[in-house]
Amino acid sequence: MLNEKRIVITGAGSGIGRATSILAAGYGAKIVCVDLNDSVNSTVEEIMHNGGTAIAVRADASDETAVADFITQCVTHYGGIDGIYANAGVSGGRKTLTELTVEDWQRTLAVNTVGVFLAIKHSVPHFVNQGHGAIVCTASVAGLRANAGGVDYSASKAGVISIVQTTAYQLYGTGVRINAICPGLIETGMTKPTFDLARERGKEDRIGQINPAKRYGQPSEISEAACFLLSDRASYVNGQALPVDGGLSASHPWVFPRT
């Protein structure tokens, strides 16, 4: 599905980014795996162990010089770039509206929103030049509606959806596509505190129960959507924010059925 596609994936050291890197490499892509954390090396090791192609770059996806640099590394190492998955993100913590500081806002927006903008800004010239390219960004159901994150996190993800919609039109007629994925609750490094707390309280069986799928999701279920959107199979999908959430965002508020 992604045969020989040269793809940059940020946040590749854990969770959704790691799963997508491994799956995309399995579908034949050559990956530049980017993460702040050393764990990106183990993602690349697993890809190579499976016979795939990847390089690891430790970099901050919210730093413009670093972003320009890892995109250039893809071009120099693989001879070009065909897609980018701007996925790195931070949760912003569990602070309430009045506890949040300006510094908290700036950090959350810097990674989740400006980081996405920078990935687009520095990959788009390559894509426009060659007349094709696929951009995928990780937003969240938190960017669609309330109750899936703090105010800063939710706004940062609504910003990603807006960037995707606006950029699709800025790229009018270029052959470049851009889409977002809005994951629901997925078990990853980011949500570990939520899962740990529920397990500590013996309430693990309650996680994900308000979802019509009646469960939470796994990173692999997001990576399948990401690989599709990065591939030519999604050739007519553009400017969309695709919820991959088991149906969670489909509903008005409802009363959990007691059995």
Ligand X SMILES: NC(=O)c1ccc[n+]([C@@H]2O[C@H](COP(=O)([O-])OP(=O)(O)OC[C@H]3O[C@@H](n4cnc5c(N)ncnc54)[C@H](O)[C@@H]3O)[C@@H](O)[C@H]2O)c1
Q: Is residue 191 a contact point for ligand X (CB under 6 A)? A: yes
Give yes or no for residue 223 binding ligand X (CB under 6 A): no
- With both helix axes pointing from N to C terminus, report the angle between 151-170 and 102-109 in degrees, rounded to the nearest 10: 40
Q: Is 216 exposed, middle or buried, given 0-12, 13-18 or 19+ CB atoms closer than 10 A?
A: buried
> What token pair was written down for 89?
């993100």
Distances (CA, A) of 139 to 11, 42, 178, 189: 13, 25, 12, 16
Tokens 């949040």 identify what position? 100
The verdict on 90 binding ligand X (CB under 6 A) reads yes
Q: Which two tokens stand for residue 36?
A: 């702040």
Provide the minimum distance between the beta carbon of 233 and ligand X in the complex, in angstroms, as a whole number. Answer: 22
Q: Please say which residue, 60 or 82, places its beta carbon nearer to ligand X.
A: 60
C-beta of 66 vs 134, nearer to ligand X: 66
Element (H, E) at 89: none
Instruction: Give how far the C-alpha of residue 9 lies from the chain's centroid of Cα atoms, to the nearest Å.
Output: 8
Q: Which one among 108, 179, 188, 240 touches ligand X, defined by CB under 6 A? A: 188
The reply on whether position 189 binds ligand X by CB under 6 A is yes
| Nearest distance from C-beta of residue 86 to ligand X, angstroms | 8
153 an active-site residue?
A: yes
Asked if 111 interacts with ligand X (CB under 6 A), we say: yes
Q: Is 62 in the site for ligand X (CB under 6 A)?
A: yes
**Sites for ligand X among residues 116-175 (CB under 6 A):** 138, 140
- Per the document, the length of the chain is 259
Closest CA relative to residue 85, chosen from 181, 8, 163, 23: 8
Q: Does 114 bind ligand X (CB under 6 A)?
A: no
The SS3 of residue 179 is strand
Answer for the pair 160, 116: CB distance below 8 angstroms, yes or no: yes
Task: Please say which residue, 60 or 235, places its beta carbon nearer to ligand X.
Answer: 60
Least gap, CB of 90 to ligand X (angstroms): 5
Residue 44 in contact with ligand X, rule: CB under 6 A: no
Q: Which of 27, 78, 85, 153 is catalytic?
A: 153
User: Does 246 interact with ligand X (rule: CB under 6 A)?
Assistant: no
Catalytic residue annotation: 153
Question: Where on the chain is the footprint of ligand X (CB under 6 A)?
Answer: 10-11, 13-17, 35-37, 39, 60-62, 87-90, 111, 115, 138, 140, 183, 185-186, 188-191
